[in-house]
A and B are shown apart, each in its own frame.
Chain A
Amino acid sequence: MFAQVQELLLLLIGSALVSNVVLSQFLGLCPFLGVSKKVETAAGMGTAVIFVITLASAVAGVIYKYVLQRFGIEYLQTIVFILVIAALVQFVEMFLKKFMVSLYEALGVYLPLITTNCAVLGVALTNVQNEYGILTGIVNGFATALGFTISIIILAGIREKMQYNDVPESFKGMPIVLLTAGLMAIAFCGFSGLL
């Protein structure tokens, strides 16, 4: 029992910090760059991503184990996962809109930005590739999304400060944000000695 908990904790740190989903795997770059102008919206986006990725890795894990593996059609994983994820996000939006209005008001605007986010599909595929069980898969999904949230909030914080800086004309907009992300990636390289 203890060994299993320890293993899950190590996985949590590994997926959230060491191999950060955005800064070392380059998944989910679009929302990372597109929704990081303000800390408030970045935090909202992060919460929505944690919610969706954790849910999606649970659903994808169950479908992989009880449908794809059972019938020996694992090679269809890409097609099945992308459809399941797209349907899941739409379903979650409908569900929240109907039954949890306050949560919908907080996360609703971010959900459309997540459907075709490659991080969601990426986590589902990584879980399968590393042969994680369902519980391990969910923990990995949560940790990956947590890593995304940490990095997008840090970037948003830096961007808020950067508004008042005198950036060279050509570097205004995307280039300076990418440079910032690069420096953050160097900082996150430091975590690689952690495990």
Chain B
Amino acid sequence: MNSVKERLYNGIVKENPTFVLVLGMCPTLAVTTSAMNGLGMGLTTMVVLALSNMIISLMRNIIPDKVRIPAFIVIIASFVTIMQLLLQGFLPSLYDALGIYIPLIVVNCIILGRAESYASKNPVIPSLFDGIGMGLGFSFALTCIGAVREILGAGEIFGFHIMPESYVPISIFVMAPGAFFVLATLTAIQNKIKAAGEKKGKDMSKIQSGCSEDCLGCDGKGGCSHGFYDTKAGEKTEGEVK
């Protein structure tokens, strides 16, 4: 029971995928035009994350190490397809609002990242709750970002008018540039917190505030997707030919 609570806390607060690790930026920016869309995207991702974590954990001793990434991708893509069909059937309005970003959950690096770093090494129950915790953290973050953009850009939250009549909505915030500005502010706040924490001598290495390294010199330790590429693929065939 303890590990369940610890996993949920870890996902929502300690290693929040958006606010702490800054992973999965594409959906974060694209669908947060309103709080409702953010919540919908977050919950869809959570279901995929929890179920794929569970299945991957169940199969962790069967999947050979060499083909684990393709195997993970197939499992994740299957759940994404299932969710896509369910949304299309039961929540068509959300399906239309999220559009192409539903199938693109497959390439969300949070999911593959959790599969690789947690579910493939741990038993079923903690893996399931790791997925739920991470998913809840992601949903919470997307809803917050969506709410900020909706309040500033339309004066509404979840579709309800809350700003006074005299408020003129800054409509740029529900358009594409607004997403960049909100994320820029968010990462700036993270930088500030990180600097303040380091001054007090705390270990703040977990806060990534957007990987500011150059991808070319990086070995994929940041948790982004390119660490999953098999860089030795070409070399093996060369050896065979010789």
B193: nearest chain-A partner, CB-CB: A170
State whether A93 and B215 are in contact (beta carbons under 8 Å apart), knowing that A121-B106, A175-B184 are contacts in the complex. Answer: no
A77: nearest chain-B partner, CB-CB: B103
Provide the bound-state CA to CA distance between A116 and B177, in Å.
25
Mark each residue of chain A from 10 to 53: 1 if its CB lies under 8 Å from any CB of chain B, else 0.
00000000000001111111110111010001000000000000
Binding site for B on A (CB under 8 A): 23-31, 33-35, 37, 41, 75-79, 82-83, 86, 89-90, 93-94, 97-98, 109-110, 112-113, 115-118, 121-122, 125-126, 129, 169-179, 181-183, 185-186, 189
Binds A, one of B117-125, B141-149, B228-236: B228-236
Interchain CB contact under 8 A, A178 and B106: no
Contacts of B224 in A (CB 8 A): 30, 34
Q: Which 10 pairs of residues, A with B, have the shortest CB-CB distance?
A: A174-B210, A182-B180, A34-B215, A178-B184, A173-B212, A116-B225, A185-B177, A175-B188, A112-B229, A26-B30
Interchain CB contact under 8 A, A176 and B104: no
Provide the bound-state CA to CA distance between A94 and B77, in Å.
25
Binds A, one of B1-9, B56-64, B78-86, B129-137: B78-86
- Report the minimal beta-carbon distance from A70 to chain B, rounded to whole angstroms: 19
Provide the bound-state CA to CA distance between A29 and B226, in Å.
13
- New A-B contacts (9) at CB < 8 Å, excluding given A26-B176, A118-B104, A174-B211: A27-B104, A90-B234, A97-B234, A98-B234, A112-B229, A117-B107, A173-B187, A175-B191, A178-B183
> Which single member of A37, A77, A83, A121 contacts B214 (CB below 8 Å)?
A37
Contacts of B185 in A (CB 8 A): 175
Contacts of A30 in B (CB 8 A): 25-26, 109, 215, 224-226
Contacts of B104 in A (CB 8 A): 27, 118, 121-122, 125
A126: nearest chain-B partner, CB-CB: B100
Binding site for A on B (CB under 8 A): 22, 25-27, 29-30, 70, 73-74, 77-78, 80-81, 84-85, 99-100, 103-104, 106-107, 109, 112, 172, 175-181, 183-185, 187-189, 191-192, 195, 209-216, 218, 224-226, 228-231, 233-234, 237-238
Q: Taking each of B177, B187, B211, B230, which has the highest tally of chain A beta carbons within 10 Å of its own beta carbon? A: B177
- Report the minimal beta-carbon distance from B56 to chain A, rounded to whole angstroms: 16
Provide the bound-state CA to CA distance between A166 and B106, in Å.
40
Contacts of A28 in B (CB 8 A): 26
Contacts of B184 in A (CB 8 A): 171, 174-176, 178-179, 182
Interchain CB contact under 8 A, B172 and A94: no
Interchain CB contact under 8 A, A41 and B176: no
Contacts of B22 in A (CB 8 A): 174
B178: nearest chain-A partner, CB-CB: A182
Interchain CB contact under 8 A, A169 and B70: no
